[in-house]
Copies of this chain bind each other. A is one copy, B any other.
Amino acid sequence: MSGHRATIQDVARQSGVSVATVSRALRGKANVAEETRAKVVTVADRLGYQPHTAASWLASGKTMTVGVAAPYFDVWYTGRVLAGVERVLSDAGYDLTVYAAETAEQRDRFAARSASLQTRVDGMLLVDFSPEESQLARLLESRITLVAIGEHVDSVNSLAIDNVTAAIESVRHLLALGHRRIGLLGTQDIHLIESPALTARQAGYSAALRDAGIDPDPALDIDCELSVEGGAEGFDRLLDLPGHPTAMFCLSDETAMGAMGRARALGVSVPNDVSIIGFDGHDLSESFGLTTMCQPARRIGEEAAELLLASIAEPTTPVAHHTVPVDLIVRESTGPPAH
């Protein structure tokens, strides 16, 4: 009414019952006379009453909030996962609080807050965030319900693709076309933050080559940023190499499309002069004619959120690691090497 928030006291007073009854009535608990409930609801509506968030949290111990720690909210993969997570959570009545966790410092700060996060969220999603031992220890100690996305973390529920196998399959596609010198683009975060997902893809790349009797050439490992710009820059670096590769395996589609854009600008023909393969299944990969290893990012977000909700509801469920299938989509950006 008159400018200030209505409290449960106001509702109680105006409906002539106790605050305990108001609480029960409004939260749909049993043991409230239908008549009483109707009266309380009417008054609450009229006053525009909604419970004080912090007061409910404090009294009930539940926050109806889930946190998600992820790197780079402006990257396609993260955005997709986030959209999936958000849909499932909001359907279930949960709010979503986001935490940037790309740099080592951010991750540390995040883990250091574990104790207070425990009282801030009911559960936490970790996207491409493989905590260091000390970070994991804090997180586990705080007993926050956790689900890891994109990486298998010991003693934590997780949902991820098999990056090694996916990378092997990608590189084998290039090998089968006849390529022998295959570059690797986008390994910067392997060195910067030891991203396990990327490290696994790198391992798959090496394994596939070795399996074909080829020794991975360190000179072909380009540690450019995993981004459009990084891909463009990496493409240049790879082209400058004496005896440049005839194919490039890019660790993300954004990197791959950056490389293709650079090729277009330079008049380098894809795939005739150089084949390019990406990783993600980005919306735009089809428009680019990009061959890519498709992962269902949005679905991953949804499933992870469902897993988290289930494990919030049933905290004793044993830890499980789920693997999500991927799918190689061959398009025009890959072909046999020239001559």
Contact = CB atoms under 8 A, between A and B. Distances in A.
Nearest to A228: B283
A5 B83 CA distance: 33
B58 A86 contact: no
Contact of A284 (B63, B118, B284, B286): B284
A156 B156 CA distance: 44
A287 B86 contact: no
A14 interface: no
A75 B79 contact: yes
A65 B119 contact: no
A50 B284 contact: no
Given A79-B74, A232-B287, A283-B254, A54 B54 contact: yes
Contacts of A118: 5
A73 B76 CA distance: 10
A96 interface: yes
B283 A120 contact: no
Interface string A247-275: 00000001001101110110000000000
Interface residues of A, number: 60
Nearest to A6: B115
A50 B115 contact: yes
B257 A287 contact: yes
A82 B289 CA distance: 29
Interface of A: 5-6, 48-55, 57-58, 63, 65, 72-76, 78-80, 82-83, 86-87, 90, 95-100, 106, 113, 115-116, 118-120, 141, 227-229, 232, 254, 257-258, 260-262, 264-265, 283-284, 286-289, 298
Given A86-B100, A257-B284, A262-B287, 19 more contacts: A6-B115, A48-B115, A53-B116, A54-B57, A55-B58, A57-B57, A73-B73, A73-B82, A74-B83, A74-B298, A75-B79, A83-B100, A95-B99, A97-B98, A227-B283, A228-B283, A228-B284, A254-B284, A258-B287
